Amino acid sequence: MNDLRIALWQTPHPASLAEALQRLDTACAQARVQGADLLITPEMFLTGYAIGADRVAALAEPADGPMAQAVARIAQHHGIAIVCGYPEQNPDGRPFNAAQAIGADGTRLMNYRKTHLFGDLDRAQFSAGDAASQVFEWRGWRLGLLICYDVEFPETVRLLALQGVDAVLVPTANMVGYDEVQQLLVPARACENRVFVAYANACGSEGSVHYGGASTVASARGHLLVTAQRHATLMVSALDPGELVDARQHSQLPTRRPGLYQPLAVRE
């Protein structure tokens, strides 16, 4: 594997889909100038996150719908992969809070539905996905997707690590007052699994919801490679495969004892 250069795009949510696509096009151009191979947007970037259940339902599309096709054209035009958050249509209930990875050639690499819904806002707008994230391969890297609250559960990243994931990509809309996620939990998830974790947060506000920024990339030893402040920014971080090799010499995974952990899977 060669280095993988990831751009974290910390930005406010747009007022419309047209604005979202225009801004995404500009961000991808800027990221490519900085040498990025892949850009991650915040959670639900294409439509906005705190927009109400009716609006989410009206804007939701299939995974291969017009929004995905437009993002694919942007990816192909700039030669950059994109991980982008959007509402996925659900014929059986509320839409899914989803994220899609699209390759630099416009090919869909992975679609993932958020499995852990946070608070009344999430639960009012979305259905929870019922499938754990799966690893996909791109440019020799084994990658996985999670969305916001998902990464706060040790089990989600551990499941990806057991599939051999190298980096976990996390679009998020974490709010002001929850900085312990970026400061403590993201580095812990990276360190305990010997993987990179890239966490791209929103900034700014939607109505009464205020996003905390502080997007970050944690190394496979839990060190913060880059960290943003509160304002809008585009940061690029290079993921070094040599870091994975070194960190995994001291991985706990080979000495796990799964037979002792069965109570973890039993809901009280």
Give the Cα separation of 65 and 153 in Å (integer).
Answer: 30
Could you list the active site residues?
Answer: 43, 114, 148
- Which of 179, 143, 183, 139 is CA-nearest to residue 164? 143
CA distance 206 to 48: 8
The SS3 of residue 231 is coil
Please give the Cα distance from 250 to 194 (Å, whole number): 9
The CB density around residue 109, as the number of other CB atoms within 10 Å, is 17
